[in-house]
Amino acid sequence: MNYRKHLFYMALFLALHGAVSAQVLERIEFSGFDWYVRATKGPEGPMGNIFAGLGRGVEMLPDGALRLSVANRNGTWYSAEVWTTKSLGYGTYTFRVRTPLTQLHPDLILGLFTYSQAIWHHHREIDIEFSAWGMGAKDLEGQYVVQPYDRVGHLYEFPSAAFVGPSTQQLTWLPDRVEFSSWLGYGEKPAAGDPGLVSAWTFSDAKSIPPPSAPLHMNLYLFEGRPPDSKEENLAVILDSFEFTPLKK
């Protein structure tokens, strides 16, 4: 490699990874995976949030569960995010969420998603999200997304009123499709037509499905980074487990 090419690739690497490599990242172990814990000194994406780090926004509970919290500390609002230390890829991602999602504060966003620092293929981002997007509690809903979200057919919304207890959220990333599903409790996925299966959707535009691989992220943050409009309650989400089953070759 000649010198100019070397400088180009070094600059590209630093641009893509500088935000991560500029700090010594805290780590946790959850559900058999190692995770980085995000901590920032100032507002960053998404939506200009500041992330608190381990022991503040991110906490391991005595029973092995993971709590993500949004909190006001000395007048500054902090959010929470973790991501796997290794990239995953094709396969099934299963999230078991203890917190009833009907209790999610309307000014918060819960994100369960794949995301690569590399910009290609829209960061290989595939999302399950819950939020009222800064509106009232009656507007709380879930959505499945294969980025870019603003392209026709890439976003599917569904009501979240049924999630009055623990729930399972799942996505299966395949070469030709992405299958999403959400159901009540932690049991096996209910059959189509079963009232326990709250939502299911398949994205089948094979040309728009990103290739692997990407780490798995989970975050809880404030809509547009602004403080909650109402009193401080329901500002945390507890996840009992995460499971990844790779696609069989």
Residue 1 has pLDDT above 50, yes or no: no
Whole-number percent of the chain with pLDDT over 70: 89
pLDDT value of residue 137: 87
Tokens representing residue 21 in the block? 């490599």
Angle at 109 between CA 103 and CA 112, to 5 degrees: 100
Residue 108 scores a pLDDT above 90: yes
Read off the pLDDT of residues 136-151 as tens digits, 9 standing for 90 and up: 888 999 999 999 999 9
pTM of the model: 0.90
Q: DSSP states of 1-62 as a string?
A: --HHHHHHHHHHHHHHHHHHHTS--EEEEETTEEEEE-B-SS-BTTTTB-BB-BTTTEEE-T
DSSP state of 118: S
Tens of pLDDT along 49-87?
999 999 989 999 999 999 999 999 999 999 999 999 999
The pair phi, psi for residue 134, each rounded to 5°, is 80, 0
- If you ran DSSP here, which 8-state letter would residue 107 be given? T
pLDDT at 176 over 60: yes
In this model, does residue 3 exceed pLDDT 60? Answer: no
Q: Which phi and psi (to 5°) does residue 239 adopt?
A: -110, 125
> In the predicted model, what is the mean pLDDT of the chain?
91
Let me know if 183 is exposed, middle or buried by CB neighbors in 10 A (0-12, 13-18, 19+): buried
pLDDT at 4 over 90: no
> CA-CA distance, 235 to 134, in Å (whole number)?
14
Query: Rounded mean pLDDT of 191-213?
Result: 97
Residue 16 has pLDDT above 60, yes or no: no
**Helices in 34-138 by DSSP H: which ranges?**
none
Q: pLDDT-based confidence at 23, cuts 50/70/90?
A: low
pLDDT tens column, 203-235: 999 999 999 989 999 999 999 999 998 666 679
Asked whether the beta carbons of 156 and 144 are under 8 A apart, the reply is yes
Q: Which two tokens stand for residue 62?
A: 């005595």
Specify whether domain 28-246 bears CATH 2.60.120.200.
Answer: yes
User: How high is the pLDDT of residue 229?
Assistant: 81
Residue 6 has pLDDT above 50, yes or no: no
- Rounded Cα distance, 93 and 142, in Å: 17
Residue 7 has pLDDT above 60, yes or no: no
Domain ranges of the chain: 28-246
Q: Are 38 and 83 contacting, i.e. CB atoms less than 8 angstroms apart?
A: yes
